[in-house]
A = this chain, B = another copy of it.
Amino acid sequence: MIRLYDFDLSGSCYKIRLLLNILGVDYTRQEIDFVDKEHKTDGFMALNPFGEIPVFEEDGLRLRDAQAILIYLAGKYDPARTWWPTDPAAQGEIAQWLSTGGNELMASAGARLVKILNYDLDLPNLQNRASAAFAILNAHLKNHDWLALEHPTIGDIACFPYTAMAGEGGIALDPYPHIRRWLASMRRLPGFIPMPGIPGA
């Protein structure tokens, strides 16, 4: 039985919900009160000492970090292995975008925390860093339908939510037509689910 420590408004948690739904995997949600900082309580830090959501459990396995969870799920529950192929070169290509989703694009997540939860962070700096990453994504997507390979992978899922929700951090995506095309393609994937801030197709 899979248990996901989850928060509705978290783009990082949504990455996991989205892949679980695409792959048709059942799971139980354990809602974490992120607004009230439940993820920084002793109880939650016993599950993940980094104090971050999501956390994933299945039988004896417990994983933190959205990107690590995507790797596990796509390796285990996608028999066709299109989301995380076994080929080393394909894994390397995808892993680049897992890193981007967990690093540079988290600046967009930070800007959103300032805007929607009044976090005391340097908003202009976060917006500038996110915009720099968006410019790179847009240039890449000019010549590619998906971030890695010729079809959607967990690299796309890792980069999707905090790009799609850039507006909630005060960053307009108007300058990035190729990103907007890619976001629309993501919304049309079989098994796509929306979240607050990311409407359906």
- Is A89 a contact of B65 with CB atoms below 8 Å? no
Query: Which stretch, A34-42, A97-105, A164-172, A176-184, touches the partner chain B?
Result: A97-105
Would A72 and B92 count as touching, CB distance under 8 A?
yes
- State the CA gap A140–B49 with chains docked (Å): 9
- In the assembled complex, the CB of A39 is this many whole angstroms from the nearest CB of chain B, namely 14
Chain A, interface size category, equals 20 to 34
Known contacts: A65-B99, A96-B64, A103-B103. The answer to whether A76 contacts B88 by CB under 8 A is yes
Identical chains in the assembly:
2
Residues on B with beta carbons closer than 8 Å to the beta carbon of A114 = none
Q: Is A149 close to B, CB under 8 A?
A: no
Determine if A119 is an interface residue (Cβ-Cβ < 8 Å).
no
Cα–Cα distance between A88 and B65 once the two chains are bound (Å): 15
Compute how far the CA of A67 lies from the CA of B95 in the bound complex, rounded to whole angstroms: 7
Chain B CB within 8 A of A68 CB: yes
Cβ of A123 under 8 Å from chain B: no
- Chain B nearest CB from A25 CB (Å) reads 12
A166 to chain B, nearest CB (A): 18
Give CA–CA (A104, B86) in the complex, Å: 28
B-side contacts of A99, CB under 8 Å:
65, 67-68, 102
Tell me which residues across on chain B come within 8 A of A61, comparing CB atoms: 89, 92-93
Residues of chain B with a CB closer than 8 A to A2's CB: none
- Per the bound structure, the CA–CA distance linking A143 and B140 in Å amounts to 43
- Cβ contacts under 8 Å, A53 to chain B: none
- B residues within 8 A CB of A64? 96
A interface list, Cβ under 8 A from B: 49-50, 61, 63-65, 67-69, 71-76, 86-89, 91-96, 98-100, 102-104, 136, 139-140
